[in-house]
Structure 1
Amino acid sequence: MPTRDLTHDDFAEVASGDGIVFVDFWAAWCGPCRAFAPTFERAAETHPDIVFAKVDTEAEQQLAAAFRITSIPTLMVFRDGIRLYAQPGAVSGPQLELLVQSARDLDMDEVRRQLAAHEARSAS
């Protein structure tokens, strides 16, 4: 499945949905972003059950600011609406495959329990 472009208008809907979503924050002038793009595209073709999306930080400055993107490329991973990973810097193909497998292997019920416990501690 090809990657899809996300904008401020559809980002929340896509990232908060069920399933796994990988988001590449990038810009056309960014050399490392251009170098990472083929790796990201190959992963999208290899894993059609995962949404692979791109956010052009130049065109979507408000969205980039909302996520405090200060370095690109930045890769984020969401599963079932929960942000699991956010890291600047391009990753290699094998590293991206490890992230895919890690996202698949997570026990999301346990993740939700841990988040609820963290929120309860923060609220008190």
Structure 2
Amino acid sequence: MASKELTLDSFATTVGTEGIVLVDFWADWCGPCKAFAPVFESASETHEDIVFGKVDTEAEQQLAASFQITSIPTLMVFRDGILVYSQPGALAGPQLEQLVQGARDLDMDDVRKQVAEQQAAAKQAANEQSAE
């Protein structure tokens, strides 16, 4: 499956699904983005069970700003609607394959437990701060 363009309207429904979604934040004027594009497209053809999405940061400035994208390309990986990886910089093919395998190998029950613990700690800290 080839990569698909993601917009502000389609982003949440795309990354919020079950399974793995890789998102490439890029711009047409960005040399490293252009160098990474064929690697990303090739991986999208190899891994037909994974959604490969692309966000043009020039056309989707609000979306890029909401994720605080300050360097491109930035690659994000979502699994079952949870952001599990976010890193700026272009990857070589073997590095991207390692990232895909790492996303496949995640114990999502453990990830969900960690997210719940982080949210509980943040809520407790906010409650303590507001009590002061």
Provide the identity percentage.
69
1:1-124 alignment to 2 at 5 Å?
A: 1-124=1-124
Q: Write the deviation string for residues 46-89 of structure 1: whole angstroms up to 9, x where unpaired.
A: 10000001000000000000000000000000000000011001
Alpha-carbon distance in structure 2 between the residues aligned to 1:74 and 1:8: 17
Q: Give the unaligned 5+ runs of structure 1.
A: none
Q: TM-score, normalised by structure 1?
A: 0.99
Q: Give the unaligned 5+ runs of structure 2.
A: 125-132
SS at match of 2:17: coil
Could you list the structure 1 runs, at least 4 aligned residues long, displaced by more than 6 angstroms after superposition.
none
The structure with the larger Rg is: 2
Q: TM-score, normalised by structure 2?
A: 0.93
Alpha-carbon distance in structure 2 between the residues aligned to 1:68 and 1:26: 13
1:103 Cα deviation from its structure 2 partner: 0.3
Alpha-carbon distance in structure 2 between the residues aligned to 1:35 and 1:10: 25
Pairwise CA RMSD: 0.5
Alpha-carbon distance in structure 1 between the residues aligned to 2:119 and 2:27: 34
Name the count of aligned residue pairs.
Answer: 124
